[in-house]
Amino acid sequence: MSESKSLFSSDFAPGALSPDRPKLLVVDDQPVNIQVLYQVFSESCDVFMATSGKQALEVCRQKNPDLILLDVVMPDMDGIEVCKALKSAPETRDIPVIFVTSQDSPEEETLGLEVGAVDFITKPVNPAVVKARVKTHLMLKIQTDALRELASVDGLTGIPNRRRFDERLQTEWRACRRTELPLSLIMIDVDHFKKYNDHYGHLEGDACLKMVAHALRGDQWRARDIASRYGGEEFVCLMPETSLEDALTKAEAIRERVFALAVPHATSQNADRVTISVGVACTIPGEGEPDSLLSVADEQLYKAKEGGRNRVEGIFV
């Protein structure tokens, strides 16, 4: 095994960062400098390249790299501006940036750290040094991502919590606004859950919520979809680039899945088992705020309850 391959293979569990290997983005307006770093990392990482600041931002949106090696001095948009743009966007702010530059003054390094870079490497790069720096910051990213993931999971059900959902709603709203594609949101409420708790007790109530979450988790979701516990007996699902028709189909499948669990509910007023009511809202994001989609989904959920519960209602706005 070569030195570059062994650099990462023993340290990174599959899927810890990317599904197979860490993804590095190398940004430099001089192709020869990109080639040098490509030779250093190509055997151990998936290396993406950009020769301008604007191109770098676009690659970040498309590839979501695990770490960026960024030149400081570039025409049009320099590395400082690129780093500021990365750190101002929720979808890219957590990507570690290492500046790679021929300028090694204390002032330049201080500025780089102030705008959010994690390290500074001077040109010409020493392969052993740049490997060690990248390895260190990728390991730190794994640890940080693990802690962030832990803070984003609902302790009872094991699915993403409201905090994680709120973050994703902001991100996907911007993405769908940029692409002018629909964003769908499904809001779910367990019918007569207070009566269930009062009759069976809170431990059984918790078990019921876990079963509903399991029904959500067991459904087929795409990579960008997210199903979360929103609070209490409410759950919410976000489906980017999904039409109202497809979202309604998914919502009905979820309702049927929960119904098929056949969890007894003796005090329900609409069925002999635990059921859910579902509200669906779909829009192509524009000038409004993401919370507006939540409000519409909540209105549709109320409509489903008023219509007899254990049903799905939806609308395009």
* CATH number for the domain harbouring residue 216: 3.30.70.270
Last residue of a domain, one of 148, 182, 203: 148
Residue 153 lies in a domain: no
- For residues 137 and 179, state if they share a domain: no
Last residue of a domain, one of 101, 120, 148: 148
Burial of 273 (0-12, 13-18, 19+ CB in 10 A): middle
Helix (H, G, I), strand (E, B) or coil at 99: strand
pTM value?
Answer: 0.67
Binned at pLDDT 50, 70 and 90, residue 219 comes out as: low
Asked if residue 127 has a cis previous peptide bond (ω within 30° of 0), the answer is no
Q: Give, in order, the Cα–Cα distances in Å from 172 to each of 4, 62, 66, 110, 184.
A: 36, 13, 19, 34, 10
pLDDT of residue 103: 77
Domain span at 276: 162-316
For residue 275, pLDDT beyond 50? yes
- CA atoms of 62 and 66, how far apart (whole Å): 12
pLDDT of residue 20: 66
Q: Are the beta carbons of 253 and 278 closer than 8 angstroms?
A: no
Q: Are the beta carbons of 134 and 119 closer than 8 angstroms?
A: no
- For residues 41 and 99, state if they share a domain: yes
Q: Are the beta carbons of 53 and 16 closer than 8 angstroms?
A: no
The number of distinct structural domains making up the chain is 2
The mean pLDDT value of the chain amounts to: 90
- For residues 11 and 134, state if they share a domain: yes
- CA atoms of 312 and 317, how far apart (whole Å): 17
- For residues 142 and 183, state if they share a domain: no
Last residue of a domain, one of 121, 148, 175: 148
Q: Which residues pair with 272 in a beta bridge?
A: none
- CA atoms of 256 and 217, how far apart (whole Å): 14
Which positions are catalytic?
Answer: 233
Residue 40 lies in a domain: yes
> Which secondary structure element, helix H or strand E, spans residue 13, and what is its range?
none
- CA atoms of 209 and 173, how far apart (whole Å): 28
pLDDT in tens, 95-152: 999 999 887 778 888 888 899 999 999 888 899 999 999 999 999 998 988 888 888 9
